[in-house]
Amino acid sequence: MSTEKYILRTRIFKILLHVFLLILVGIILFPVCWLVLNSLKTNQEMFLDSLAFPKKWMFENYITAWNKGLVSYFVNSIIVGALSIGIILALSSMLAYGLTRFNLPGSGFIFILVLGGMALSEQVALVPLYKILQAVKLYNTRAALVLPYVAFRIPFTMFLMRSYFISIPKELEEAAIVDGCKSWQRFTKIILPISKPVLASCAIVNLNHVWNEFLFANVFLENKKLMTIPLGLMTFQGDLKSDYVVMLAGILICSLPMVILFLCMSRQFVRGLTSGAVKG
């Protein structure tokens, strides 16, 4: 094949690839644009033509959504999310560090046992969890959400952290051992500062799950004052009438924190997921 033909084929391939990516971006952005557009309409305008521009931009839909109780659901999601992510990162990082740095008997079995938790479906465990939470008097409390979130997210988080910890040179810790650092000091002063990318990745992935989780919140909570955002948005639907445009505005408000968080930490997120991917 001549050089000219090779260059031509390469350019055609790049053009087709860019066209495909633009189409893919359009497919992804279309629902978002539809959501924003209809959140600024009246219910009548939305049902008449959901793709048309609103005759009057109803920015007050966002104020209505916020004043309709969204602020309390927002606070509840922040509290549950912060507690869950903090416990998940703390336990998973210590577990991953112990499995990668200490040659304990049965460590391989412990790793497989914890990793096996990823195979357990949340739907299968729903009824046993419901009975356990009622038996220990934790039903209809924030702990009824935090504890299951922690239990179901530790296996995946530990798996990511273990792969990252393996990629950290042990020579760094050996130098610290010579200086008299104990294992806890090595973990907190060497491993954790180096592991900021994977910690950020795990925090974003787990927070996205906790922030949008509906099943456990719907089953384990009854008190409206404790409801998180996904469950709280359902209260916008009335028995006889539903204010859909206000609900769409509420969905957009609740999506903003995750979007902003990802944009601010996107670089560390990618580094955390790719570092150590070829090891372990």
Residue type, position 265, single letter: M
Dig out the tokens for 151 from the structure.
Answer: 């239990």
Burial of residue 151 (CB within 10 Å: 0-12, 13-18, 19+) is middle
- Cβ atoms of 217 and 230 within 8 Å: the answer is yes
CATH number for the domain that contains residue 107: 1.10.3720.10
Angle between helices 71-101 and 196-212 (to 10 degrees): 140
Dig out the tokens for 139 from the structure.
Answer: 């039903």
Q: What does the pLDDT read at residue 136?
A: 93
Is 258 among the domain residues?
A: yes
Is 38 among the domain residues?
A: no
| Residue found by looking up tokens 């279309």 in the block | 30
Q: What does the pLDDT read at residue 166?
A: 86
Is 55 among the domain residues?
A: no
Question: How far is residue 128's CA from residue 121's CA, in Å, rounded to a whole number?
Answer: 12
Question: How far is residue 15's CA from residue 30's CA, in Å, rounded to a whole number?
Answer: 22
Dig out the tokens for 72 from the structure.
Answer: 């309390």
Is 172 among the domain residues?
A: yes
Q: What does the pLDDT read at residue 78?
A: 92
Is 18 among the domain residues?
A: no
Is 39 among the domain residues?
A: no
Question: How far is residue 19's CA from residue 239's CA, in Å, rounded to a whole number?
Answer: 46
Is 159 among the domain residues?
A: yes
Question: How far is residue 92's CA from residue 117's CA, in Å, rounded to a whole number?
Answer: 13
Rounded alpha-carbon distances, angstroms, from residue 16 to 2, 6, 25, 161? 21, 15, 14, 38
- Number of domain units in the chain: 1
Dig out the tokens for 46 from the structure.
Answer: 């939305």
Is 32 among the domain residues?
A: no
Spell 84-119 as b/e; 16+ CB within 10 A means b: bbebbbebbbebbbbbbbeeeeeeeeebeebeeeee
Q: What does the pLDDT read at residue 113?
A: 85
Q: What does the pLDDT read at residue 280?
A: 42
Predicted confidence pLDDT, tens digits, the chain (280 residues): 567 777 888 888 899 999 999 999 999 899 889 989 998 998 888 888 888 888 888 888 888 888 887 888 889 999 999 999 999 999 999 999 888 888 778 778 888 888 888 888 888 889 999 999 999 999 999 999 999 999 999 999 998 888 888 888 887 777 778 778 888 888 888 888 888 888 888 898 899 899 989 999 999 998 888 999 888 888 777 644 677 888 888 888 888 888 888 787 777 666 655 554 444 4
**Structural domain of residue 136, as residue ranges?**
62-274
